[in-house]
Structure 1
């Protein structure tokens, strides 16, 4: 319990927001909360060249041996891939293999490319298992600025 409280205290000290305006896009896990930092409003203002970290509190409903990150910006209905580090989702607060009922706080970082236009878009985040199924999938509104 103390470990959990320490994580919550650390996360709350950052310029971050718990996202409330997101759409689950077919998660096979249960998303309890999503925190994005740095971000202090919705939709989040994303600055070119800046790294953003997401913390996802979830519970698994199925067994997963391997997990991979996938991130897209959806612009005019077309998914544009964004690089995610690390690509392997295991080991970032998530123990693999993951078993049904395991509760985890998953963490990953994305850097906004510098060569994108200033725009509003939807960001789609997925954590995909070894069978190509979405353990976590959500879409959130974003605004990219200089």
Structure 2
């Protein structure tokens, strides 16, 4: 895990803030991750609220070709993955031009809603973007707290 270095970016007056995540683990993928932001969040680990929607930007460079990209997001609580709905389910067209080619850089944009029935707990979030062969282009795990 990388050291905690937080850069807070004021997005809109009224404290809609984003944080560049530094406390994450790259869990393997053929893409190179340059930066990850999560909004709203003012410090790591991010505190999220049940029923609310959160937005992420992932800046990366692809190393392999892919016609399609699919999102998968889980909250891992006591070792058990809980599915978090990502919108849209395809990463194509959200800052990413598909087909993806090796060497192509992009800033992928997506949102995820914390399930309203999620327990109040500290957990690990696992976000994967898979290519058309089911291989991870991006895979990250980072800490969250659900309030």
Give your verdict on TM over 0.5: yes
Partner of 2:71: 69
Shift of the alpha carbon at 1:49?
1.0
CA RMSD for the aligned pairs? 1.0
Partner of 2:45: 43
| Alpha-carbon distance in structure 2 between the residues aligned to 1:101 and 1:127 | 17
Moved over 3 A (4+): none
DSSP-derived class of the 2:112 partner: strand
| Alpha-carbon distance in structure 1 between the residues aligned to 2:11 and 2:122 | 28
Partner of 1:7: none
Choose which of 129, 135, 138 in structure 2 pairs with 1:136.
138
User: How many residues get paired?
Assistant: 135
| Alpha-carbon distance in structure 1 between the residues aligned to 2:11 and 2:85 | 27
Shift of the alpha carbon at 1:117?
1.1
Partner of 2:99: 97
Partner of 1:119: 121
Question: Matches of residues 53-64 of structure 1 in structure 2 within 5 Å?
Answer: 53-64=55-66
| Alpha-carbon distance in structure 1 between the residues aligned to 2:90 and 2:107 | 15
Choose which of 22, 29, 32 in structure 1 pairs with 2:31.
29
Shift of the alpha carbon at 1:12?
5.3
Q: So what's the TM-score if we normalise by structure 1? A: 0.90
